[in-house]
A and B are shown apart, each in its own frame.
Chain A
């Protein structure tokens, strides 16, 4: 079945550091890929997505490129801020819409220190 593996946290960085959160996936077809973010005390919100190979999703300075050859969708940001502290979830969908087709990773807790 489908699965998503992301690096375990917590990941602790200093402000303005470069961020990478690794995400790899296993899927039978050609999934869409997502990053969701959960700020403290809140639900998840979509950060970015990519629907086909070589697509790059970007938002709020974060980027991730859909790499079919390495089955990866790593999240990057060039200079993190304290306000980026949150839990980040990588996810995939085989299509058709809906959470019954959406597989989440276990989440990576990111802590940014001033």
Chain B
């Protein structure tokens, strides 16, 4: 059973607010990822990490930032949210054999 958790599930905020999307996993995986999913369902990798203190940008440029201070925790932060940031954000971790385990996602709406 995959144990990867994202909070909140839904978030509606105003423009200019700072937000942090939380992601935690209890599987001890070193590799973690953030995807942005557009309304057409396509997935875009925006950040990934190979372990503590490792963070890399993904294929899609994003104004968000991430940190990896602990193995189990990989939060994503937007310093100043805008309507263009409205999207579904999915966190995932890898067992190192190409299988990804996904959280349930955070649906972000910026007004």
Contacts and interface: CB of A to CB of B under 8 A. Distances in A.
B74 interface: no
Interface residues on B, range: 20 to 34
B94 interface: yes
A99 B104 contact: no
Interface string B20-40: 000000000001010100001
B98 A89 contact: no
Contact of A98 (B2, B40, B43, B96): B96
B42 A107 contact: yes
A61 interface: no
Nearest to B96: A97
Interface string A87-108: 1010001010111111010110
A101 B41 contact: no
A43 B104 contact: yes
B60 to A, nearest CB: 12
B54 to A, nearest CB: 12
B41 A106 contact: yes
A45 interface: yes
B96 to A, nearest CB: 4
Contact of B100 (A42, A46, A106, A107): A46
Contact of A99 (B6, B31, B41): B31
B66 to A, nearest CB: 14
Interface string A53-78: 00000000000000000000000000
17 contacts: A32-B98, A34-B98, A36-B100, A41-B104, A42-B105, A43-B90, A43-B91, A43-B104, A43-B105, A44-B90, A46-B99, A46-B100, A49-B99, A97-B97, A98-B50, A99-B100, A107-B42
